[in-house]
Amino acid sequence: MPLPSLQEQLAALIAAPSVSCTQAKLDQSNRAVVEQLAGWLGDLGFTCELQEVQPGKFNLLASRGQGSGGLVLAGHTDTVPYNDSLWRSDPLRLTERDGRFYGLGVCDMKGFFPLVIEALQGGLLDQPWRQPLLILATCDEESSMSGARALADSRRSIGRAAVIGEPTGLRPIRLHKGVMMERIDILGQSGHSSNPQLGRSALEAMHDAMGELQGLRRQWQAEFSNAQFSVPQPTLNFGCIHGGDNPNRICGQCSLEFDLRPLPGMDPEWLRAAIREKLTPLAERHRVQIDYGPIFPGVPPFEQAADSELVQLAERLTGFTAEAVAFGTEAPYLQQLGCETLILGPGDIDCAHQPDEYLDLARIAPTVQLLRQLIRHYCL
């Protein structure tokens, strides 16, 4: 039975919701996505292994060929949460208009996998293979990176070179910042709003805590800079805040989750110590309890040597010098397994994590051609 067309594969993957989120009520399984991929790749002769990392969360390792080297083509199967009212079309239905495919994950980054499958159907599977190809589809990249962490913890040998198809506009990326996802919980005392003395407002304490974080952000951005990045300073983003339950009650509890992107050379534990130093006197002043720590272990900064085989090959095939980006990826974890690692994919990061996420149709053929060249170099 022939495989579905590239467009049909894209539509099927996008129709299978697989949101990964720090908020349990929004978090979803990726099982339907990896099982769909395993079915298609199995039909192409790949040996498929599903690894359950956490309940409902799976990695897929699909391999073809034998040997100790070879190529890894990697990506994540999860997406960020979405607000369908902000989309011009259904985010879970592939839509084509204006020379683009629209849909949740089509850019970041479910769309990468059908392009890999398309590349494989160009006669490559009929040729003798010297080294294996591993297609790796992970879970929870958008939140905990638990899929990539589990793989790194396994110390499993997966290949000589790894290309992660994150959205880079088909420009090779060899450096990125670290990622820290942090949380502050403040416990005060609720009370009637008519008398402030009846309670201790967690919301007002959080307001001051956010002010301290903004001050640290200004300080770090003045002290640290790396011109290799398009955003040369470290960044700190307030992602979500929750607190209180009614206007006429003093807020008794408040929580804040924020994202910190340190440059190489900025020690995450040093940054956390600086934040704690600001929060301690604030808790005393407001007479509240403040708990602070990481939501997940931080993602390390990543750098692949400019003179490595993979970087030089990618630069020759694309015509672009490898660059740096501000967003984090699973690259450090694949690198820990002994792979030369590069980030290179067809989407544009500027439309990722936003309504009306898209993939330019004009990127499809060049991506398929590039993938075939990489497979020939490392596997044939």
Mean pLDDT of 298-305: 88
Q: Which residues of 331-359 are buried (b: 16+ CB within 10 A; e: fewer)?
A: bbbbbbbebbbbbbbbbbbebbeebbbbb
H/E stretch holding 323:
strand 323-325
| Domains parsed from the chain with CATH numbers | 6-176+299-379 (3.40.630.10), 180-294 (3.30.70.360)
SS3 track for 248-311: CEECCEEEEEEEEECCCCCCHHHHHHHHHHHHHHHHHHHCCEEEEEECCCCECCEECCCCCHHH
Question: Which pLDDT score, from 0 to 100, does residue 277 have?
Answer: 98
> CA 127 → CA 61, 64, 366, distances in Å?
22, 12, 22
**For residue range 18-53, what is the model confidence (pLDDT) as tens digits?**
999 988 999 999 999 999 999 999 999 999 999 999
Give residue-wise pLDDT tens across range 274-301.
999 999 999 999 999 999 999 988 888 8
202-247: per-residue pLDDT in tens? Answer: 999 999 999 999 999 999 999 999 998 888 999 999 999 999 999 9
What residues does 50 pair with on adjacent strands?
A: 60
The reply to whether 78 belongs to the active site is yes
- Span 105-156, pLDDT tens digits: 999 999 999 999 999 998 899 999 999 999 999 999 998 899 999 999 999 9
Q: Residue 177 above 80 pLDDT?
A: yes
**Given this model, what pLDDT does residue 67 score?**
87
Q: Which residues face 259 on adjacent strands?
A: 181, 237
Share of the chain above pLDDT 90, in %: 89
- Give dist(CA 93, CA 4) in Å, integer: 16
Residue range 351-369, pLDDT digits in tens: 999 999 999 999 999 999 9
**Whose CA is closest to 60, among 27, 37, 43?**
37
Query: What is the value of pTM for the model shown?
Result: 0.82
* Among 118, 140, 141, 142, the one annotated catalytic: 141
Candidate list 27, 78, 142, 348, residue with the active-site label: 78
Q: Is 269 exposed, middle or buried (0-12, 13-18, 19+ CB in 10 A)?
A: exposed
Torsion-angle region of 218 (φ positive above 0: left; ψ -120 to 50: alpha; else: beta): alpha
Amino acid, single-letter form, for residue 238: F
Most distant CA atoms of the chain, gap in Å: 80
Q: Which residues pair with 107 in a beta bridge?
A: none
